[in-house]
Amino acid sequence: QQQVKQSPQSLIVQKGGISIINCAYENTAFDYFPWYQQFPGKGPALLIAIRPDVSEKKEGRFTISFNKSAKQFSLHIMDSQPGDSATYFCAASFQGGSEKLVFGKGTKLTVNP
Amino acid sequence: DSGVTQTPKHLITATGQRVTLRCSPRSGDLSVYWYQQSLDQGLQFLIQYYNGEERAKGNILERFSAQQFPDLHSELNLSSLELGDSALYFCASSPRNSLRTGGYTFGSGTRLTVV
């Protein structure tokens, strides 16, 4: 119940295309869903986050879509750029607890020029 | 620079040895989290400290221990090392009620290689 399942494991997209990464969770107590971006040799960095009271959140080219009934959420990267090539992690947490994050296993995104 | 400092960046040691990884959180952050990142398991939560006290424990082996000192820096001690302990170890810090204000900040990690 603590798991967050992420797919695909890897993704190759052409420059200008849309990258879509999906995550699913079981524990309905999760109430905070961030996405982290990690470049080689660096730690993960917060990209965008959503709470279950909204169905979509957009920040620039990055959009999170959230489906509470299906217990799924996804990251959409519009107009993907080679600089977006990185590993993306979805995560989930409870606000009321220790605030530890449970991470998906990551998606390695490659955007070809 | 994220503001979270981890040392050393790289560590190579032999099986059976003991190492200490150090983390200095961002100024003002009270919580420190330790994560292990391996290729097959992804980012696994190990342990969290809040203002010097252990707050949550995850998949941390008994051979591993951690503490947070009065100046809020934290150390992760790994003993009786095995080949399978080779991984990236990340520290993250957050202020109080972090998930309402922007989440964690990760350091750049310590890459541990056990030979």
pLDDT at residue B101 above 60? no
Q: Which of A47, A98, A103, A107 is the best residue to mutate to test the B interface, defined by the most B CB atoms within 10 Å of its own CB? A: A98
Handedness of CA A77, A85, B95, B112 (dihedral sign): positive
Of B43, B104, B107, the CB nearest to A46: B104
Q: Give the pLDDT mean for A90-112.
A: 86
For the segment A71-92, the average pLDDT, to the nearest whole number, is 97
Per-residue pLDDT reduced to its tens digit, A62-81: 999 999 999 999 999 999 99
Q: Which of A74-83, B3-12, B34-43 has the lowest mean pLDDT?
A: B34-43
Query: What pLDDT was estimated at residue A96?
Result: 62
Q: How far apart are CA B109 and CA A4, in angstroms?
A: 23
Q: Is the pLDDT of residue A1 over 80?
A: no
Q: Burial of B91 by CB count in 10 Å (0-12 exposed, 13-18 middle, 19+ buried)?
A: buried
DSSP count for chain B of H helices, then E strands: 1, 11
Q: Among partner residues B33, B90, B106, which is closest to A100 by beta-carbon distance? A: B33
| B49: pLDDT strictly greater than 90 | yes
Give the number of C-alpha atoms closer than 13 A to the C-alpha of residue B30, restricted to the C-beta side: 12
- Pairing status of strand A56-59 against strand A4-7: unpaired
pLDDT band at B98 (very low <50, low <70, confident <90, very high): low
Contact (CB, 8 A) for A110 and A10: yes
Q: How large is the average pLDDT for residues A5-29?
A: 96
Please report the pLDDT score of residue B47 as a whole number: 94
Measured between CA atoms, the residue of chain A closest to residue B103 is A46
Tell me which chain A residues have a C-beta less than 8 angstroms from the C-beta of B48. 98-100
Report, as an integer, the average pLDDT of B38-67: 91
C-beta of residue A27 within 8 angstroms of C-beta of residue A1: yes
Per-residue model confidence (pLDDT) at position A3: 87
Mean pLDDT over residues B63-80, rounded?
A: 97
Instruction: Please give the Cα distance from B26 to A46 (Å, whole number).
Output: 15
Contacts of B44 in chain A (CB under 8 A): 103
Choice between A93 and A20, residue whose per-residue pLDDT is larger: A20
Per-residue confidence (pLDDT) for residue B103, from 0 to 100? 74
Q: Which of residues 37-96 of A touch B (CB under 8 A)?
A: 41-46, 49, 89, 93, 95
What average pLDDT does range B12-18 have in this prediction? Answer: 97
Q: In this complex, do A100 and B45 lie within 8 Å of one another by their Cβ atoms?
A: yes
Q: What is the mean pLDDT of residues B30-43?
A: 89
